[in-house]
Amino acid sequence: MLDGMWDALDLPGLVVALVAGNALLYLSLAGLGATLLPRGLPGRPTRRIQTEPPRAGEVRRDVLRSLRSAAIFGVVAALVIHAARNGHTRLRFDEAALAPGPFLGALVATILLHDAWFYWSHRALHTRLLFRRVHATHHEAVRTTAWTAYAFSPWEALVQAAIFPLAAWTIPMHPFAFAAFMVFQVSENVFGHAGWEIFGPGLPRRLPGVLTNTPTHHVQHHEDPRGNFGIYFNVWDRVCRTNHPRYAERFDEVVPPRG
């Protein structure tokens, strides 16, 4: 049954379905983030990271750019699925690939691969050669919101979309495992841009905070792009010493230490 469903759509049908699916995923998760994070999570109040709200038109700008990025992601995903149907990737369409072990293993491997890809490609986008041509569009959002998650230039959207062919050519996985990864990464992007901190005092100075990134980490990158290049984990930034020099202090400004 699952094998047949991937053959039911030709390439144009795949493009339409995956463009619409990516747009719906972005709108749903960004909308949830924009609605729920300001209210706080059960038993854990959230704190606003930036005091100045977005200016008129900035949210609309970010939504339109994000929808454009979602369309690019959908086209790339459709091309990868099309290549997979012709045996050119490591994607698996059989039921065995949906068993808990292979499914979770592929999901974790893709998250780790994306964490490395994002860090190193992000650092490259901050070089003099690429920043103004590719990445500056995203940094126009100094006052970030949940809607900023995908607000890339078309060229940067292609860089971000590259994780699908990278994963498909290196990790044996069912497309549903990659779909689960997409839900995870969009949620993390919304969480990192929304402008609300949910973690408790002193997290960047203790475990597990020394291993995970916080919303403050990425918002600070938009405020001052001299550091904080990672996405999920704070490992690459720590190993390469690219955490912003005032990251811990900025976190303390948002979440004052106890006592």
What are the boundaries of each domain within the chain? 2-254
Task: Map tokens 């619409």 to a residue.
Answer: 20
pTM > 0.75: yes or no: yes
The strand pairing partners of 91, in sequence order, are 173
Task: Map tokens 């049954």 to a residue.
Answer: 1
The number of helices, as runs of H, and strands, as runs of E, in the chain is 11, 2
Do the Cβ atoms of 149 and 66 come closer than 8 Å? yes
> pLDDT tens string for the chain (259 positions)?
445 555 677 889 999 999 999 999 999 999 999 999 998 877 777 899 998 888 889 999 999 999 999 999 999 999 999 999 888 999 998 899 999 999 999 999 999 999 999 999 999 999 999 999 999 999 999 999 999 999 999 999 999 999 999 999 999 999 999 999 999 999 999 999 999 999 989 998 888 777 899 999 999 999 999 999 999 999 999 999 999 999 999 999 999 988 6
